[in-house]
Structure 1
Amino acid sequence: MKGKLIGGGIVAIALVFGAVVYYTQEYYYYEPVPADAPAAAITLTEQDGATRDRLAISGFEGIDASSSPLRYRACFHTDLTPDQATARYQPYPDPTPLIGPKWFECYDAKTIGTDLEQGRATAFLSHHDIHPGVDRVVALYPDGRAYVWHQLNDEAEK
């Protein structure tokens, strides 16, 4: 009888621990980014690599967390098309959108990644080393939708 009690206690503790880990990863650390916050200022890096231009955007929705520089995600609209941007701004060589929390519904990393691979969206460098070893990447769609995330760069591995 004591074995069942101990086993049940272990299972209960594991379930509580799992629920706490899930909550912290999915909700606890994230905070909304207000549209007028400095983190909501979306830029693209020009071909020269030294100049960043601020984009005119609308409908900004963003989240961030102080626990990791990789937790930044945002969605917005812009009048800049991928064709216009390609002529002026640096394309991002290996964009890999990172999965965000399920409740942040405007951002779907799998869809964005597939669209980038199939040419339905184009990725550009927003800010190299926005944090040490981390780049901000912007994906633009022809219809004006745009998404932003932070991604490790080559310097992160050093």
Structure 2
Amino acid sequence: MTGKILSVVIVVCALIAGVAMYYLQVYAFYEEVTPTGVDDVQLTTVNGGVETIFYEDFQAIDADSSPIRYRACFTTTTPLTTLLTTYEAYSGAAPRNAPGWFECFDAEAIGEDIRNGRAHVFVSQRNLEFGIDRVVAVTEDGRGYIWHEVNECGDKAYDGSPLGEDCPERDLGGN
């Protein structure tokens, strides 16, 4: 009898822990980002400057628990041809999954659009924080998506490799 009770307690504890972990990963840490309406969608020009592009319907989520949890969606009427000639392209970007409740950001569909040339990815800001770049993808029909990518310096720092000379100084103090 004691074994059965102990088994039930273990199963109930495991279920509670599983539900708690799911909730924490998918809901608890994310917060909706309040748009400024002025500079939510910025791109780096081919000359190195940063400009805000015209955007509407901006929605975003973020979490303090990780530098790569930022996701945003928007629409723009700026033609993709203009963006391609004016702003710095970002190669190798792959969107990460967003929580299912943030319905505008479908990483699989965005990735397929990028692979098939229906969307192009641009630099928003390099080294937003050490090793993390903010990137913006825009589709042919004006849908846009923003997320954070771990850059080459971040990859090296996180796997313990020596940082290259082109990596910025890493701030290790304070926090």
Q: Shorter-chain TM-score: what band?
A: over 0.9
In the TM superposition, what is the alpha-carbon distance from 1:81 to its structure 2 partner?
A: 2.4
Question: Does structure 2 retain, via aligned residues, the 8 Å contact 1:81–1:140?
Answer: no
Q: Counterpart of 2:49 in structure 1: which amino acid? A: T
In the TM superposition, what is the alpha-carbon distance from 1:111 to its structure 2 partner?
A: 0.4
Per-residue CA deviations over 1:15-53 (Å, capped at 9, x if unaligned) read: 100100100111101111112278x621111113x3111
Aligned to 1:119: 117
In the TM superposition, what is the alpha-carbon distance from 1:82 to its structure 2 partner?
A: 2.2
| SS of corresponding position for 2:68 | helix
Structure 2-normalised TM-score? 0.85
Aligned to 1:47: 46
Question: Does structure 2 retain, via aligned residues, the 8 Å contact 1:122–1:139?
Answer: yes
Residues 1:66 and 2:52 aligned together? no
Instruction: Give the gaps of 5 or more residues in structure 1.
Output: none
Aligned to 2:159: none
Higher helix share: 1
Separation in structure 2 between the aligned mates of residue 37 and residue 44 of structure 1, nearest angstrom: 15
Q: Counterpart of 1:20 in structure 2: which amino acid? A: A
Separation in structure 2 between the aligned mates of residue 37 and residue 84 of structure 1, nearest angstrom: 22
Q: 1:139 aligns with which of 137, 140, 146?
A: 137
Aligned to 2:25: 25
| SS of corresponding position for 2:51 | strand
Q: Higher RCO, 1 or 2 (CA under 8 Å, sep at least 6)?
A: 1
Q: Are the structure 2 counterparts of residues 59 and 37 from structure 1 closer, same or farther at C-alpha, using a change threshold of 3 Å?
A: closer
Q: 2:85 aligns with which of 76, 84, 87?
A: 87
Separation in structure 1 between the aligned mates of residue 4 and residue 20 of structure 2, nearest angstrom: 24
Q: Counterpart of 2:136 in structure 1: which amino acid? A: V
Corresponding pairs, count: 156
Aligned to 1:102: 100
| SS of corresponding position for 1:15 | helix
Per-residue CA deviations over 1:32-81 (Å, capped at 9, x if unaligned) read: 1112278x621111113x31111111110110111111110000011222
Structure 1-normalised TM-score? 0.94
In the TM superposition, what is the alpha-carbon distance from 1:86 to its structure 2 partner?
A: 1.1
Runs of 4+ with >3 A deviation: none
In the TM superposition, what is the alpha-carbon distance from 1:147 to its structure 2 partner?
A: 0.6
Question: Does structure 2 retain, via aligned residues, the 8 Å contact 1:76–1:145?
Answer: yes
| SS of corresponding position for 1:70 | coil
Output the aligned Cα RMSD: 1.3
Q: Counterpart of 2:46 in structure 1: which amino acid? A: Q
